Every structure is written in C-alpha cells, then in structure tokens.
Structure 1
Amino acid sequence: MARSRNARPSGRDDEGDSALSPTKWTPRRKWTTACTALAATFLVTLNGTSITAASSQIDAAFRISDAPFPNSYWLVTSWSAGGALGIIVLLPLMEDLGVRTGFLVFYAIFLLTIVPQAVAQNFATLVVTRFFSGGCAALLANTISSMIPDMWATDEERNLPISLYILMYLLGSTIGPPIFAGALEYLDSWRWIFYIQLVIYGSLLPLLYFLLEETRIKVLIRHRNRHQASAGPGNPRTLGKRASSILQRVWRSATRPLFLVCTEPVLFAITLWSAFSFGTVFFLTQSVAQVYHNVYGWSEGSTNYTLIAVSIGEIVGWLATLYGGRLFRRNEKRESGPVPEARLYIAIPASVIGIVGGMFIYAWAARASISWVAPTIGLGLVGFGIQVVVFTGTEYITDLYSASSYVGSAISAVAAGESIVAGFLPLSTERLYTDLHPYWAGTLLGMIALLLSLAPVLFVWRGKWFRERSPFMLAGGAT
C-alpha cells in the first residue's frame, strides 16, 4: 500500500491572493469537499487488506498453499507495490489535470479494476489486477493530502484535517478484515468481498462527481481563462509544453525521493521509523490469525475481529495528535518561532509505550492461562502508537522541508518506504511465528520498534545540528 502525503505548507502561489483561491471559501464549502475526499480515503483503502479475511477460501479455490510461505498474501503485496509505484508516477498528473478531473478519472479506472478481481478465474489474475487497483487507490486515498494546504493557509487550521486524513487512511487499512470477515460468515464465497465493494464504490461515484471541487488555484485560473486562444486546450504549443512539463515532473517525482532518502540521514531515519510503524498494521492482519487461533482456538473469521482493538487505538491516537498540535503551538509561542522537533514530543512516549509496550504485551500475554483480553489491549496500544508516529513523522518532515522545493519529494520518500514495508514485512509472519514462537517473534518486533524509537529522541536532542548541515532543509532549493 502506498501512501503519499504531498502536503504543501500552504497554498501560497503568485496567484494566492486571487478571489478564486479555495482559502477564501466558506468553512462549509471547504469541509464538504474535504469530507468527500476523506470518505474516499477510508473506503478505497478497504480494498487493500479486506482480502486477507478470505485467505483460506482463496487458498482452497486456487489450490494455494500458505505453508511454509504465506502465498495468499501476494494479493496484498501486489496491491502495495502498485501503490508505491502509482503514487510516484501518477501524482504529477494531478497537478496538470487538477484534483477533480484527475480524481474522477483514476476513480473510474479503480472501479473497473474491481470487476476482474470479483470474477477472477485464477490466482495470477487477482495478483495482476490488484497491482493496478493499488496504484489507483494510493493516488485516490492521498488526494486529500494535497487539497488540505490548498484550502487552509495556516498550520493551526490544517492540523485537524491532516490528522483526520491519516486516521482515515489507517482505519481503512485496519478495519477491512473484520468488516468483511463478518460478511463472509453469511455469504458463501470470497467473491462477495469484491461484489460488496463494487456496490460501495459505485454508490460513491455520484457523490464524488457532485461534491468534490477543484482546489488547485492554477487549474482554477486556467479554467477561467479557457476561452482565451493562448490558453485554450486545443493550442498545439500549449499541449506540447504541458506534455513536456508532465514528463519532467514524473522524472523528478521518481528520482528525487530516492536521492533524498539516500543522502539525508534525518529523512532516512524517519522513513524507517514511520514505515515500520505503518507496516505493523499489515503485519498484524497476518499474525492475529496465528496467535488467536493457536493459543485460544478461535476460528479464522473470529481472529479478524481483534483488529477492531487496533482501530480503537488509532482513534485514541488521533485525539492525542490533536493535543500534540496544541503542544507544538505553545512551544512556538514560547520560542518565538516554530521548532520542528516539537512535533516529536508526543511521538516519543507514543512510540515507546504504544508500539513497543503494546508489542511486548501482545507477545507475552497471549497464553492459554491468560484471558484473550490482555493481548488485545496490547493491540490497542500498538494502534495508538501507529497513529501518533505516522502523523508526527509526516508533520516533522513537512516542517523540515517546508521552505524548499523538496517537501513533496521528502514526503513521497516516507510514503514509498511505508508501502514497501507494508507489502513485504507480513510475508515473514508465517516463518517468524513458526520458527521463533509467538513470544519471541513479538519480542523481536518490539526490540526493532524500540531501536527505531531512538530516532525521535536523537532529533529532539540534536535536530538543530542536523538541520544546519542539510543543503535541502529550511532553505529554497533548485528544482
């Protein structure tokens, strides 16, 4: 699963004072557009992990074996890989097409990719079609991230919509298996997962058409001036320049994140930290089946319900991020200016207590002599930590690169890392839990999380030192 938060610090263009600017919209108009996109973020991400609720049915239908390797999980890995590539290649097109047109076009493509998933006659068809649906879903789910700075000009205004965006993304990725596990208890085929999704996504299409508005100021101005011959869509010179511009943006979008993550130690460390946290959501979709089935004897469908605890934790984590935003603004007033490392104050305890502590509880409390409630509390703590870490990591990187032209590429680097880990980390679950036992498998993951939790501590301590030595942070850079 790919998730690019290409949030710009504000919608400040040369045309920013234009009466067309979405920053001048009424709050009702802004939130109508934002909530439409947020609903799409939640719903399209359901397509990513919901298929794991039917892994045994798919194994039986296509004669796939999950021992000793979880081959059925290639359906999610393919989806995530498509998302990682799609967000890099397709995102520049949104700048040219505009948010509304680009969203509707790729949503239609996404909807069409669900059809072959529903009627697939072999496993390869599922793997291939999910690659393309993942690419579209990643772009659609993250569209709101670039709309928010178009509509809200200040950090304080953006805090709530950005936190909601990340919550919707994580909730959609987490809650899919329990939602569709419940449906499969009353339906006789895994194909109903996609039939239901076709109904949901088809019903959403008219709402998107009527409620999703364009937020790109340059696109709005272009639409206003379309009657002029020089800006007309049929002008060959204009089309040629636009095509060249698209290719240039695609090239930069594809190469810059890799360059930055390999040369910027802060970006590299935050990417690892956030990617591991995000990937844990997908890891849990695999491990809960083994833990609760082997220890407590639950059925495959019932094990998926434990992910509701992760979702509850994410909601509590969302509330914590709102408080974290208040801490950041208080620190800004106290220091007479923003200090990016203040973003990490709440993330340190959330990472250590939430992800690390929750992972240890999940690992060691899962015993037949201990109630299933205990490890489930650990899952809730993990969900809490994931929400806070992913949000604060996003905000911190955005602040670091906000004054340069590299903010989009830096955030895309984090997103690509999250997608890679989310797609491939769960492939190790089967062997990890078989060879090491659930206790030690969970302990190993907890120790990795503890090690990565040192990154925000280091940056709170020496963040200014790193910033002063980066040629890309907090300074305008050449494109």
Structure 2
Amino acid sequence: MTVDIEKTLSAVDTDEKFCSSGRDSPILESIRGVKTNRSRSCSRHSTASNAIDDNDVYRNLERAATATVETEAERAAREPITYTKSGASMSSVASRPPEYEVFFEPNDPENPQNWSILYRTWILAVVSFATWLVVLYSTSYTAATPGLMEEFGSSQTVTTLGVTTYLLGLACGSLILAPMSEIYGRQRVYLLCMSIWAVLIIPCAIGPSLTALIVVRFFGFRQVLEMYDANAGYRALFGAVMISNSPGTVVDVTNPEYLSLGLSVYSIAPLNGPVLGPLIGGFVFQYKGWRWTNWIALIIAGATLAAILTLRETYPPAILKQKAARLRKETDDPRWWCQYDQKISTLSLLKINLSRPFVLVATEPILWFMNFWISLIYGILYLCFVAYPVVFSEHRGWGPGISGLAFLGIGAGILIAISCEPLIRAFINKQPRDPVTGRVLPEAAALVMGFGAISTSIGQLGFSWTCLPTRIHWIVPILFGIPFGAGNTLCFIYGSNYLAGAYSIYAASALAGNTVLRSIVGGTLPLAGPKMYATLTPQWAGTLLGLLEVITIPIPFVFWRYGGKIRSKSRMIKQLQDELDAMEQKRARNQERRERRARREAEDAERLENNDDELDDETDSEDGESGRRESVPRGVEEKKEASASVKGE
C-alpha cells in the first residue's frame, strides 16, 4: 500500500521551486501550497503591515478539470452577487472588504505550523499509526487464509477475494472521503469514519459465513441476522479516510523547510503496513485462530480512536472558516470573510471528485502509460502475499508466524529507500531546471523512478530463481526482497511526484485516478496467484512477472528523456498553465491594491501626526503669550509695592 500523499494536495504555489534548498524534497513536491501573499493584520487586527506571508495555506484544489466546472475567476466574472452563509451571518462574495479578510498572520497561534513541536510530533505519530493499522488490516487477512479455507471449506482463490474487496473498498472510499475534509475538516472526518471502521470489525470477527464475508466486504449489506463479515466492505470504505487525508495532516502541521523530513518519517509506518500484516497476522492466527486477527485489530483501533480524540483540527481552510464565523458572531459584523467561504454543495463537490479523475485517465496519454506501469508494479507487490506463503509454508514447511518473517526483507528495502531521501534530493537538485520558473523539471523524478524499476526487477527475478529448490538457503530469497522493496518505494513515491509536478493543481485528480486503477489491479491480480503458482511453479511464475517488469523498465526513462515534449502536447497541461497565469495575475493585482492601500494609510497617518504637531505648537504658543500677559500686571504691582515700601521707610 503506497502512501497517497497526492490526496492531500489542496493547491500549488506557482512561485515555489520544485526542489530548492530546505523546501525542495522530491517527496514534498507532490504537495504544494499557495502563499497567502498577505501579512497585514485583519480588521480588528492592525492593517498597517502588508509584507508577504511566508506561511503556506493550501487552497481548495477541487477546481475545473472538466468542461462542466468553471475556474474561480470565470465563476466570479459570470455570477451576480451571491451570499455564503457561515456561522452567525452571511458575507458578500462579490464585495468583500479586504481589511476584513481572515487569514493566518505570522506567528499566529491558530496556524497549525505554529503549534508546539511536541504536539505536532504527536499528531504526526497518531495519523501515521492509524494509517498503518488500516493498511496492515488489508494484508493480515492473507495470513489467516488457511484457517478460513479449513473452517469454511473454500478454495484459496475464493478466500483471496477478501483481499480484493478490501482494496476495492479502499479505492472507492478514497474518492468519496477525500473531499469530506474540505467540507467538515479533518478531525471530524477521522473520528467518525474510524469509529465506524472499528465497529464494523466486530461482525467480521464473529461471522460464520465466508461467502457473506467476501461479498459484503465491499458492498456491506446482507440481512441483519446474517452479520457475518458483511460490513467489511464498509469497513474498507471508511478506513480509506486515513489513506486519503492523513498525508495532508502532515503537511498542515509541518513547516515547509522540514516537510520532506515529516513526510519521510510519516511514510515509514504506512509503507510497512503491508509487510507487517502477514507477520502479525501469522503469529496471531497460529496461536489464537483467524478470528483473533480481527479482535486484535479492534483492540488497536480502540487505542487509536482514543489518540484521535486528542487531535485538534489542522486543515487551514476549516480553521479559517471557523475563525471568520466566530468573528462575525462576536462582533455582530457580517463583513468578516475568508477566501474559503465558497458556495458549493457537498453533492457538487462529490460530482467533481468522482468524475474528474476518470476524465483525466481517459484523455491524458501521460496517465495511460504511468497508470499501466504503476498498477503492474502494485499488482505484483500484492502477488507476493500469495507467493511467499506458497514458498515458505508449503515448500519449506514454515509455520504461519515464521512465514511472515520472510517479508522483513521487503520492509528493510522500504526503510533503506526512505532513509536515502536526502541523497536522492541532492541528486534531483542537480538535474536541469526550467529556465522560466527555476524549478527542477518533473522529469528528474522520472529518472529516480527508472532506478526503482531496475531495482524492483532485480529483486523479483532474484527471488524467483532462489526461492526453490529448498537446498538454497532461505536467507537468499529473503535478501532479494530488499531491492524489491526499495524499488517499489521509489516507484510509488517518485511516480506520485512526477504526476504532481506535471499536473500541478490537477495533481490530486490525476493521482486519484492512479490510486483507483492500481487498487483494482492490486486487488484482482492476486486472484490468479494461487492457480498461477500451482501451474507454473513459483520459479517460473515469478520469472514471468519479473520479465514483465523488465519490459516496462523503459517507460520511466522515456518520460525522463522526452517528458518535456510529451507534456507540451497535453491539452490539460496547457489549460493548467493558462489557469496558473490567471491566478498569478490575480495575486499580483491584489498585492498591488494592498500596497496602494498601505501607502494611503501611511500618508493619512503621517498627515494626522503632522496636524497633531501643529496643534501642539499652537497650544504652546498660546500658553506662552498668555503667560507673558499675566506676568506684566504682576510686574507692575510688584514695582508699586516696592515703591510704596521705600516711601514708607
């Protein structure tokens, strides 16, 4: 299971470099923000300062990528004045006073990136662990398949359908739940969906029917009296909330200069979820039975929910909307607003998110080849969860728990790839840059993908040629899991980076389609695994898969060599550039207006100060004249008194 960093894309900063020191990680390229370009204090805050704010506030990405959706500029030009209700009152969209705009100021305590480092680390740990649990549950099922086959008398192919339906549920759930955080915020969505996910584990643990378990693992319906594992499909759907939103939480709380480190640390747990699933599930099944793989997951889910309760809202648009609503209520002034107060229904947002990824997949040649290649690699990865038990349990006689240890080679490769991120970043920084923007070209990520493709092929072929006969030491095929795991990690992470760099503000949609397709392949390809390995033997079946990976090695190198020309012919990327130019012009005009307003305020303040000085001078002059007038009579009287005194003497 890859880390869907792309789901958290909410905008693109057209001024930010793809890979520049401190903020140029190839991992963070898949997540970009739009600078607020504001640092003036808003309304009840001071409006004197107008410096550009360096904090990244991530805009709503879900904008036009289909013919039925308009850009923000087009919509503003076409529509009459409308009103958006939020909190206690309503604010005008067409005539919003700039001085009443709510945004994050520098060092704003409400900005998640300004929270204490300890609390932000805790948030990162919680969402990483929750994602790990959801991903782990997808593969821990495979370790318990012998028990399911024995208890229900089913074939291995039928039993493997449980993995297929779970992955399909994750794919569909990601499309549906990703936009929910844009409407309700991340914390509420996490808490609700993970609670439902945990509750639906119970019928899976007590269910007596494998048929219901598999069928409703995705669809989630049957008679209430036949609760079996019927709700597991909904469980996968609701569990997808962590896949689609948790990387965005990492971006919310991590300062830009440390974003690459935050994403790398976060990725360790989710990327190792598929590897640790068979290991933990194998030992639990071996000593407690297959039902306890569900009970253990439920216990861990309870602890995870308790941890989620300690999290605050981290999604910047949600925080700003709440802040604007609070100010409107406290001041009884409807003019308070933020840039995310948009009039868009949940149904419309879902329509955009569900349609746009498939429009891109159907019309973009870049996505045709990238989706095919990444889906193939993803499917072969999930075939390992069929191949490893065949090799180590059936042929080498290992128990379910010990067989799970064989996946540690893949896990070690994942950790090595993640730990090499600083070196890879330095390598990418040396690649050619766009002469206009100064950013490293997306093709730099494609070059890293090519290295990952080679490593994956070596690992797959090496495992296939050494897994059998059993006279070959068991450590040899396990060691070949290291290049296999490292290569998969490079392909997934930097494949996402390439698409993010190529499609910019459309990256979330491009990557959402990629996620759905690879989940479908990853879920369906293992269905052919048992029959394929039984017919061809593990050596020849693995060799066939390895040769498929070898054949596809040129794909990332083609994008590295000719990616610029391919992107220049993309209709969607041309449309993207036009929209980015329009956004840049709009930001420039807004910045110019803010500067003019600041100059006027400074001039008014200077005139007011000069007037005060003149008034003070006039007052001082009048006081002096009055003092002189009063001193004359006093002097005369004193002289008279002195003269009278002399005469008396």
Q: What is the TM-score of this pair, normalised by structure 1?
A: 0.89
Partner of residue 131, structure 2: 41
CA deviation after TM superposition for structure 1 residue 243, in Å:
9.1
Question: In the aligned structure 2, how far is the partner of 1:245 from the partner of 1:75?
Answer: 35
Question: In the aligned structure 2, how far is the partner of 1:11 from the partner of 1:52?
Answer: 39
Q: 1:398 and 2:500 equivalent? A: yes
| Range that drifts further, 161-170 or 134-143 | 161-170
Q: 1:341 and 2:341 equivalent? A: no
Partner of residue 350, structure 1: 452
Q: Quick one: structure 1 residues 2 and 161, their matched pair in 2 at CA, closer, same or farther if it must change by over 3 Å? A: closer
Partner of residue 100, structure 1: 187
Q: Quick one: structure 1 residues 365 and 94, their matched pair in 2 at CA, closer, same or farther if it must change by over 3 Å? A: same
CA deviation after TM superposition for structure 1 residue 454, in Å:
1.5
8 Å contact from structure 1 (residues 325, 343) kept in 2: no
The one-letter amino acid paired with 2:445 is: R
Partner of residue 318, structure 2: 219
Q: Quick one: structure 1 residues 165 and 422, their matched pair in 2 at CA, closer, same or farther if it must change by over 3 Å? A: farther
8 Å contact from structure 2 (residues 379, 523) kept in 1: yes
Query: Within 5 A, what are the aligned runs for 1:308-387?
Result: 308-331=408-431, 336-352=438-454, 354-366=455-467, 367-387=469-489
| Range that drifts further, 142-151 or 47-56 | 142-151
Question: In the aligned structure 2, how far is the partner of 1:230 from the partner of 1:77?
Answer: 52
Match 1:278 to one of 371, 375, 378? 378
Question: In the aligned structure 2, how far is the partner of 1:39 from the partner of 1:183?
Answer: 19
Q: 1:12 and 2:98 equivalent? A: no
8 Å contact from structure 2 (residues 129, 270) kept in 1: no
Question: In the aligned structure 2, how far is the partner of 1:259 from the partner of 1:49?
Answer: 31
Q: Quick one: structure 1 residues 115 and 140, their matched pair in 2 at CA, closer, same or farther if it must change by over 3 Å? A: same
Q: Quick one: structure 1 residues 293 and 322, their matched pair in 2 at CA, closer, same or farther if it must change by over 3 Å? A: same
Query: Within 5 A, what are the aligned runs for 1:119-198?
Result: 119-127=206-214, 128=216, 129-152=231-254, 154=256, 157-187=258-288, 189-198=289-298
SS of the aligned residue for 1:368 comes to: coil
Q: Could you list the per-position Cα deviations for residues 144-197 of structure 1 after superposition, in whole angstroms to 9, with x for gaps in the alignment? A: 22223334464x53322333444322211221111121223322x211111111
Question: In the aligned structure 2, how far is the partner of 1:75 from the partner of 1:333?
Answer: 46
8 Å contact from structure 1 (residues 7, 408) kept in 2: yes
Question: In the aligned structure 2, how far is the partner of 1:158 from the partner of 1:268?
Answer: 30
Q: 1:464 and 2:486 equivalent? A: no
CA deviation after TM superposition for structure 1 residue 222, in Å:
2.1
Q: Could you list the per-position Cα deviations for residues 79-123 of structure 1 after superposition, in whole angstroms to 9, with x for gaps in the alignment? A: 111111111112111110101111111111111111111111211
8 Å contact from structure 1 (residues 2, 138) kept in 2: no
Match 1:451 to one of 546, 551, 560? 551
Question: In the aligned structure 2, how far is the partner of 1:333 from the partner of 1:470?
Answer: 20
| Range that drifts further, 214-223 or 143-152 | 143-152
SS of the aligned residue for 2:200 comes to: helix
Q: Could you list the per-position Cα deviations for residues 25-61 of structure 1 after superposition, in whole angstroms to 9, with x for gaps in the alignment? A: 4444433322221111112211111011111111122
SS of the aligned residue for 2:309 comes to: helix
Question: In the aligned structure 1, how far is the partner of 2:232 from the partner of 2:272?
Answer: 20
Partner of residue 308, structure 2: 208
Question: In the aligned structure 2, how far is the partner of 1:10 from the partner of 1:172?
Answer: 26
Question: In the aligned structure 1, how far is the partner of 2:115 from the partner of 2:457?
Answer: 43
- How many residues of Structure 1 are paired with residues of Structure 2 in the alignment? 462
Question: In the aligned structure 2, how far is the partner of 1:169 from the partner of 1:273?
Answer: 22
8 Å contact from structure 1 (residues 278, 418) kept in 2: yes
Q: Which has the greater radius of gyration?
A: 2
8 Å contact from structure 1 (residues 401, 475) kept in 2: no
Question: In the aligned structure 2, how far is the partner of 1:105 from the partner of 1:386?
Answer: 32
Question: In the aligned structure 2, how far is the partner of 1:453 from the partner of 1:372?
Answer: 28
CA deviation after TM superposition for structure 1 residue 139, in Å:
1.8
Question: In the aligned structure 2, how far is the partner of 1:54 from the partner of 1:439?
Answer: 24
Segments of 5+ residues of structure 2 without an aligned counterpart are 10-30, 39-56, 58-102, 217-230, 333-340, 581-649
CA deviation after TM superposition for structure 1 residue 434, in Å:
1.9
The one-letter amino acid paired with 1:178 is: L
Partner of residue 226, structure 2: none
Partner of residue 91, structure 1: 178
Partner of residue 238, structure 1: none
8 Å contact from structure 1 (residues 222, 231) kept in 2: no
Partner of residue 236, structure 1: none
| Range that drifts further, 295-304 or 374-383 | 295-304
The one-letter amino acid paired with 2:179 is: P
Query: How big is the alpha-carbon RMSD for the aligned residues of Structure 1 and Structure 2?
Result: 2.7
SS of the aligned residue for 1:225 comes to: helix
Question: In the aligned structure 1, how far is the partner of 2:321 from the partner of 2:188?
Answer: 13
Q: Quick one: structure 1 residues 42 and 396, their matched pair in 2 at CA, closer, same or farther if it must change by over 3 Å? A: same
8 Å contact from structure 2 (residues 414, 486) kept in 1: yes
Question: In the aligned structure 2, how far is the partner of 1:436 from the partner of 1:379?
Answer: 21
The one-letter amino acid paired with 2:409 is: A
Q: Quick one: structure 1 residues 321 and 312, their matched pair in 2 at CA, closer, same or farther if it must change by over 3 Å? A: same
8 Å contact from structure 1 (residues 2, 84) kept in 2: no
The one-letter amino acid paired with 1:331 is: Q
8 Å contact from structure 1 (residues 173, 281) kept in 2: no
| Range that drifts further, 89-98 or 431-440 | 431-440
Question: In the aligned structure 1, how far is the partner of 2:267 from the partner of 2:2?
Answer: 13
Question: In the aligned structure 1, how far is the partner of 2:3 from the partner of 2:259?
Answer: 18
- Could you say which structure has the higher helix fraction? 1
